[in-house]
Structure 1
Amino acid sequence: MSNILFVDDDPKYQGVIRDLLVHEGYAVDCASDAADGLRFFRERVYDLVISDLKMSSIDGHQFLALLRKYDDDIKVIILTGSDDEQDEIKSLDLYASEFLKKSAPIAVILKRIEHVLREKTGQRQLVLSSRYEDIEVHLKNRRVTKDGEEVDLTAREYTLLIFFLQYKNVTHTREEILKKVWRSGEAYGDLRIVDAYVKKLRQKMNLSCISSVRSVGYEWVE
């Protein structure tokens, strides 16, 4: 099941599209504006973001640019009532996967969504990397190298490294790391275990990218 974030400030239209997507078998979260959308995006993992363009405070183009700071590979469809050619050009310049008009037939909108998600599946990343630290993680065989040398990590250290590489330049609280890396709930509530594993990972791989954020948590800065 693909996870979709839908951002639109028109509650009636939002409800119509949400119901259609759910009927098609997608898991859908809805946000009423870009600020709410960013909150969802920081907390969860999505396969696709669908966003309106003309919104108060932060418009769709600004929202798309902000999304790129968190995840440069996220697929985004602009779904708008705008007929302005410049809006379409700017959206494509920001690497929107599609620019669709709300007046398009529902069948066409659903087919475009299906196409973008199929494209994402076909391009799913098999290697995570850090140019700054010269790290490569080959997800298929769980092979980790640093400076060209293979590194032997425990299962938990490996999962923690993957987490940081997937969410670079984002500050994570200890609670968030505990929730996402220790998925089974083991050690729940003991935030010191996060500090211990970050220390182990730093030492074992001689990392300088993991920065401590005082009284909050950690951030992979690159």
Structure 2
Amino acid sequence: MTKVLLVEDDPAIRLAIAESLVNENYTVDEVSSATEAFKKVTNENYDLILLDLILPDMDGMELCKKLRDEDIRVPIIMVTSRKDEIDKIIGLEIGADDYITKPFIMRELLARMKALLRRVSFDSGKLSKYSFGNISVDFKKFEALKDGKPIKLSATEFRVLHYFIQHEGEVISRDKFLDDVWGYDSFPTTRTVDNFILSLRKKIEDNPAEPKHLITVYKIGYKFIK
């Protein structure tokens, strides 16, 4: 069974989400603080983390960054009542894989969870290792090197890079990119999509302002060049 860590400090919300997930045959561990969550994640294996942004001891974004800094690649969906676009951009840039805003219906959360789990379990058999420029990637091990040194990519960033490599030289529209990679319109604006790509460029390009691999095609989308 898929094992989920639910990090939510509101008892009523935590109970409601947990009961819904159990009814969908998920195994759920519940914690109410970032400290408890970090201990759980570093000692147990999880398939997905539902992370509330506002926690009593540490901001959810800070916890997300801490997990990624520890090279913990468990997919993370941030859950919050904040509606500011900047929060969404920051959350994705520090390693969150998706973002859902309260109030939401459980069907939407379940759909996002299933889509995210499907994305991170993509078949890398046809493309397990790949190198371009000074970057080398092992998609089976979820490892990436730049100039021989490890770089930290989220599960979604590996997925995005895998997708671009598979479509090398093709111009990918933003709509097709969202549909193929995310499976639904999880990003409300083009600006958020562009910021996600910018974040990935910062990790793999020598000069993100003048990218050589992840190229923007004006008014259309993107293409990958080896």
TM interval, short-chain normalised: 0.5 to 0.7
- Residue 126 in 1 paired to residue 140 in 2? yes
- The Cα of 1:94 is off from its aligned counterpart by 1.3
Cα RMSD after superposing both structures: 2.4
Inter-CA distance 92–123: structure 2 relative to 1 (3 Å threshold): farther
Tell me the equivalent position of 2:188. Answer: none
Misfit runs of 4+, over 3 Å: 127-134
Structure 2: segments with no counterpart, 5+ residues: 125-138, 150-226
Inter-CA distance 128–51: structure 2 relative to 1 (3 Å threshold): closer
What is the distance in 1 between the residues matched to 2:4 and 2:74?
11
Q: How does 1:1-222 map to 2 (within 5 A)?
A: 1-122=1-122, 126-127=140-141
Render the CA deviation track for 1:129-157: whole Å, top value 9, x for unaligned: 697999xxxxxxxxxxxxxxxxxxxxxxx
What is the distance in 2 between the residues matched to 1:126 and 1:37?
26
Equivalent residue letter for 1:25: N
Structure 1: segments with no counterpart, 5+ residues: 135-222
Per the alignment, in what secondary structure is the counterpart of residue 5 of structure 2?
Answer: strand
Instruction: Tell me the TM-score normalized by structure 1.
Output: 0.55
Inter-CA distance 66–123: structure 2 relative to 1 (3 Å threshold): farther
> Is the 8 Å Cα contact of residues 32 and 55 (structure 2) preserved in structure 1?
no
Inter-CA distance 130–108: structure 2 relative to 1 (3 Å threshold): closer
- The Cα of 1:76 is off from its aligned counterpart by 0.4
Equivalent residue letter for 2:112: R
- The Cα of 1:84 is off from its aligned counterpart by 2.0
What is the distance in 2 between the residues matched to 1:29 and 1:66?
20
- The Cα of 1:89 is off from its aligned counterpart by 1.4
Per the alignment, in what secondary structure is the counterpart of residue 108 of structure 2?
Answer: helix
When the two structures are aligned, how many residues end up with a matched partner? 134
Instruction: Tell me the TM-score normalized by structure 2.
Output: 0.54
- The Cα of 1:42 is off from its aligned counterpart by 1.0
- The Cα of 1:128 is off from its aligned counterpart by 7.0
How many percent identity over aligned positions? 28
Greater Cα radius of gyration, structure 1 or 2:
1
Equivalent residue letter for 2:96: A
